[in-house]
Homo-oligomer: A and B are copies of this chain.
Amino acid sequence: MPLREKMLIAGIRRAAARGIRSVGTGIGDDCAVLRVPREHEALVTTDFSLEGVHFRREWHPADSVGHRCLARGLSDIAAMGGVPLAAFLSLALPPDLPQKWVDEFIAGLLKLAKRYSVPLAGGDTAQSPYGILADIVVLGSTPDGKAVLRSGARPGDLIYVTGTLGSSVATLNRLRDGEKLRPKLHPKHFYPEPRIAVGKFLRDKKLVSAMIDISDGLSTDLGHICEESKTGAVVYADALPIADGLGDDGLQLALHGGEEYELLFTAPPNRRIPKQIAGVPITRIGEIVHSRQMKLVTPDGERTILKPAGWEHFT
């Protein structure tokens, strides 16, 4: 193993050492050994963060890349109503990458990990002949048989979304236009917050029938729920929680913008959904219908077909 990789692994081991005892034996053996709570099932999700596909070094500071890398995995756990148990990072680095970049990347990832008490329990390292390549794996759990799937929506269920929509892709568009932005002022794009507490609350209280996180855009991700549940949906444009300051494009950005990491869920109409959960506003945006189409009711009352036109990274 090259010295660089050894140092990286040693650094990750040190940084993660405090968290690891609680879950089992970890970094440095052939596998991490972890305990899934009794009468719980394991959740597993993997997500790439590839330079030039999911981030750009000139746009995203290293700590944001590390944060976003882990947030993608945690958000998938949230969408099942699960709690995260441990994360694993496969990381391939170009030989000329400054150590400072690596340190800040790891710091950004571990800061988010700490907030959710998720130990970094293992992974793999390699030298990359290309750009920076990361793959995050998150192991989580839910009580047996209680994971919230995409397939549980039924006609008549109401559709809800957490937080606001549209600002992550709006920030990306400004970066694309060459604007220099201060990351701390645009947290939705640079430091998105996975909705772990909301997902767990909804599952605990048996409020939801189906759930997904908005990573590809509302239209695409609602399409996934409809496809897996064999239903359609009606969305009310003027009900959407469009983020402030998006101007005339707001509706389109909210409908199709990706990387929101908000939760999109459905609930039977007799369930009382709080207006706010764990400090995050919850908005009712539509309903599930029998006919297998997605429709948008525009502010003037017209019904149009809503096509999945979610955001496809920036390749």
Residues of A with Cβ closer than 8 Å to B?
1-2, 24-25, 28-36, 38, 41-48, 50, 52-54, 75-77, 79-80, 82, 86, 88-90, 92, 121-124, 126-131, 133, 135, 137, 139-140, 142, 144, 147, 149-151, 211-213, 216, 220, 228, 310, 312-313, 315
Cβ contact within 8 Å between B80 and A29: yes
Residue of B nearest to A146 (CB): B33
Q: Which residues of B contact A46 (CB under 8 A)?
A: 88-90, 122-124, 135, 137
Contacts A35-B144, A88-B137, A130-B130 supplied; 8 other A-B pairs, CB < 8 Å: A29-B151, A31-B45, A31-B77, A31-B80, A34-B42, A35-B41, A53-B129, A124-B135
Within 8 Å by CB of A135, from B28, B128, B135, lies B135
Cβ contact within 8 Å between A47 and B90: yes
A229 to B117: give the CA distance in the assembly, Å: 29
Cβ contact within 8 Å between A92 and B29: no
Most buried by B among A43, A89, A122: A43
Cβ contact within 8 Å between B137 and A30: no
A127 to B126: give the CA distance in the assembly, Å: 20
Residue of B nearest to A85 (CB): B42
A139 to B32: give the CA distance in the assembly, Å: 10
Residue of B nearest to A25 (CB): B149
Within 8 Å by CB of A126, from B50, B122, B147, B150, lies B50
Q: Which residues of B contact A121 (CB under 8 A)?
A: 44
Residue of B nearest to A144 (CB): B35
A36 to B86: give the CA distance in the assembly, Å: 15
Cβ contact within 8 Å between B212 and A53: no
Most buried by B among A80, A121, A126: A126
Within 8 Å by CB of A44, from B28, B139, B313, B315, lies B139
Cβ contact within 8 Å between B42 and A80: no
Residue of B nearest to A32 (CB): B44
Q: Which residues of B contact A149 (CB under 8 A)?
A: 25, 29, 33
Residue of B nearest to A220 (CB): B1
Cβ contact within 8 Å between A131 and B131: no
Residue of B nearest to A44 (CB): B32
Q: Which residues of B contact A129 (CB under 8 A)?
A: 50, 52-53, 130-131, 315
